[in-house]
A and B are shown apart, each in its own frame.
Chain A
Amino acid sequence: MKMADSQKIEAPRETVWAALNDPQVLKQCIPGCEELEMTDGNQMQAKVKLKVGPVKATFGGKVTLEDLNPPESYRIVGEGSGGVAGFAKGGAVVRLEEDGPDATILHYDVDAQVGGKIAQLGGRLIDSTAKRLAGEFFKTFGEVVAPSSENTEAAESTDGAEEPAKKGWLSGVFSKKDEKPADTDA
């Protein structure tokens, strides 16, 4: 699975960079994250609850920050196992671009692989799920980093506008109840 996108955040680049390196912020922003602890240097131990299609599992694994180039870019790589639900591994190159003194554009380029039941059963839902998770992450991240900003809403709506078109009726059926309802003509 590959996914690349960018996101504008109403905060200076240093602030965004600091937040990106703060386990507390990351824990708050990663959807379903139950634990995230710095274990040593650039390594973290994480526990994330994920639901892809009908498969729900808690993934435990290592997250490492590599190729650190503050305050511009890093590579975040991880490997996690969800037991019988399967496994996920992959990474993302994150790059911060200044957009004037008070705003930053965050570029991300994800390359991930999943295996096991989530890949079999949720296979066709993985892309849309990943997009949704990324959307949730940046919505929260924007709110945490720039609490007063109105731009996060715009960011959210951009993300949201794309979603209904790409979402099949099945992913609607299996999506969380608190989300907007699936197309009723399905």
Chain B
Amino acid sequence: MAESNDPKDTKQLTGEKTNVGLVERAKDTAMSLKDRALEEAREYKDPQQTQVWKSIFRVSHERSDPRNRSLAILSNVFLHLHPAKINRDAVRYRYTWGMGGITFYLFIVLTFTGVLLMFYYHPSKIVAFRDILYLEHDVPFGKLLRNMHRWAAHLMVITTWLHMFRVVLTGSYKKPREFNWCVGVVLLVLTLLLSFTGYLLPDDQLGFWAVTVGTNMARATPMLGNEGPFGAQLGLTPYNDVRFGLLGGSIVDANALLRAYIWHCIGIPLVASIFMAVHFWRIRKDGGISGPAPVMLESEMKVLKKK
């Protein structure tokens, strides 16, 4: 602070009594603080100019600037799987039906509701069924939670199938996307297995018998099941075959419940996430969404074959 000749200041420093009262001095200080606060507040009127905002969003969101529109995608962890720009016709949902994206969204919904359900569920034969009753009758919005988890699972199976159907109708599995189609087939299987392992968890008659019917088929696996072709010849019994491995026992019981729970909540979601990462990555690496592409003519086919 610069040297001051103001009598008020010197007197204050020397402790001399002055005519200027404490109240007035406080008032002065308050006035200057107020002016400063107002001045600063004027700057806050534009939140995008604040330090907090700029630390989170690196890019100015000036809408009209094409560079910013690209950066909005590229510098965002959740959006960076998108390209900055796409074919103008590719945004027509009549072409894609949006089924792949909806499937992924449903996976997120299922993860979210699933984690919440895990707070109320013990994978134990003694309390599993009671946990569901508790969830339905006592937990706030518990019924809604369980319903949403189940219907989202059903919907995910439907959207997966429709996504697959669209990919076939548009020939999108063709070069260079053959491998990504195979990854998709694996994801289809994982989706069905996720749904199936979840079926047992309420530990009611519906799940119990569905899983009994389902795993009885494993008993008939050729060379791996005790009732399958060449099973008996290879020394397989109900206590060492593939069904025993799936259920952790020879009947659907406590171990089967625990195994279904771990596959459902940890094992398969983990594997599915890895395959999903590959699936999405490959969409970009294979040149983005397949179309709507310009049509090729039958008379041009020979040329295409030579390439």
Partners in one complex: no
Residues of B within 8 A of A (CB): none
Residues of A within 8 A of B (CB): none
